[in-house]
Structure 1
Amino acid sequence: MENFNPLRDAVPVGEIKRALVIKLRHHGDVLVSSPVFSVLKAHAPQVEIDALVYADTAEMLTFHPAITTVHTIDRKWKQLGVVGQLQAELALYNSLKARGYDLIIHLTEHWRGAWLCRLLQPRWSVGPAVGGRSKRWKRSFTHLQSFPRNALRHMVETNLDALRRIGIQPAPAERRMRLVPGAAAETSVAAYLQGFGLAGRDFIHIHPASRWFFKCWPVEQMAALVGRLQAEGHAVVLTAAPSADEKAMLTAIQSRLTQPAFSLSGQLSLKELAALTQAAKLFIGVDSAPMHIAAAVGTPTVALFGPSGDKQWGPWGVPFRVVSSQQHPCRPCGIDGCGGGKVSDCLTSLGVDEVLTAAHELLAP
């Protein structure tokens, strides 16, 4: 007996041979789209599923068991000059055209996705319904996904709405994020840990920074937290991106500690960062890509949230605690610090005891 589907224009998933999912955003945004691949593969196991992302975010999806090929757009193509950029764009188009996609799922408002749907002419295509867009945008897709700006709906679910729009209803167990570090990254991280005298599950990983510093907890509080954890006997490994600002933050934290924590500041690739987090017994950080990485590799997570929305962007699919201010009813405001000043009162007001309590709850046997 066939299952009844009330959606009249549902896509017959058994007829899809190849699909392309487009997510042209930052690292965390790409990672929270990973369940789309898992769910589509679970409901249509015969489908070869490709991804199209920016080159610097590709490691968020490579090795994903549901993905056949990760195609990339390099933002540095603009440095190649007009001819060089056109050659790179044409090579990408030819690679995508050769795949012969039956279905394209476009998960952002980027116009490139609409143009690719027009050029590649898949049998079915899904894109977000964007207010104020022209008929050209709407006619680029066979299906338009309702795209409400709802701060209470997690972005994982918003991404999965593209599948719901074509008649695929994800089961709860299918909605986990997925990031595979890979054997090379795991071996590299094991060597780092061995050098520290550590092994898996006997340390806490803390990544204090975000590429947007208005999302960060003050250095003084973070250093106090690390010191308290060390005093309790926990080994702490600190990480930072290779950027000068993030490495400077880690240096400032270390300078305030009686005993410096173990540090891999600016030394890890994204895959190695994932392997390190996967080996940790707990991750502590702010609203950032490393926080999403922790959730994707299954590590319990303490996440500090200020002006960004934890309901929409919080840890997904793992044991977690969100620490946020109860004194500031204005959050989440989405502003880059109070008054645009890059410092968020709703974060600076968070106490060390609050974060430590959240950590204890997740560390409890």
Structure 2
Amino acid sequence: MAQPNPLPEGFRVPAEDIPHLRTFMQWPVLGPAHDDADFVDYLQDTIARIANTIAAFEPVVLLMGKQHIGAARQFVSNDVEIWDVPTDDLWCRDSGPLFARNDRGGQAVVNLNFNGWGDRMANPNDRLVAARVAERLDLPVFDSGIVGEPGGVEWDGDGTLLAHESSWVNPNRNTLGRSEIEARLLRAYGAEKMIWAPGVAGQDITDDHIDALARFTEPGTVLFQAPYPDDDDVFSNSARVTLDILKTARDARGRRLEIVEVPSPEYPRIDDEEFVSSYANYYVCNGAVICAEFGDMDTNQETIQTLKDLYPDREVVSLNVDALGETGGGIHCATQQQPA
């Protein structure tokens, strides 16, 4: 990896809950990522419903190759703008552009050098999405000097990052030591303090992205999805370690973190140990929080009420996104915001 070309002084990646100019999403297609046409239809229907829902609150741009636009309009409302930027899969959080801004209204794109989650997936178009969007927007691109995905780091917009080491200090992405990876991540986000937890390497495609488990709702407050009490499950054990670290951590301003827990669904529609049933993987857009529901009425309602309490000025909209859970992610994984 080359030396980083860091963000200029005064730029930083803002928190997700600030006003957005638009939301970017990606269209999944038959190709290197998916070879089952029926399942691709299932994914496309889900992505279209998410895009149509967000478009009621803010502009949405859906990225896809031009050959797919005609068919996509069968799913996607006219409120959603489509750009001819070729894609392979839907994970815009990871392969889409990460935006930074300064106090004078300037914007830039930070390149985290997406490599298909440690070269597990080829996804040749997705590796170029961030650069192609930046070119269309005529924005400069600054290279972080590390490889990874924005879904692998949580940030509060006030100087603090949170991540699992397994997604970053991993030779499938970076051969640098943790201290140098940390320094480059902090520079890439314009942040000051890193909170690390170990995470789990090699058990899922992301190497345990943090955004399925813990999310900053505001500086000093973290929503945390309580794990299933299963001593034989590596993710459950890892989550408890992450929670213990958060309970004793301090952020960039010296604050102890308030932890707000939401449950994991006990009775989801899909009973599969590889299914990702993450309430924490929600998306904050202008005026709304878009979250998943998994068919468990009790835990769904408990989570919706928690989100209403945490985001009192926003509408909470829950969607069935089981297609995404079957492929290892959720709503947050499928979206990427451009700040206003």
The normalised TM-score by structure 2 is 0.27
| Structure with the largest fraction of helix | 1
For the pair shown, the structure with the greater C-alpha radius of gyration is: 1
Higher relative contact order (CA 8 A, sep 6+): 2
| Structure with the largest fraction of strand | 2
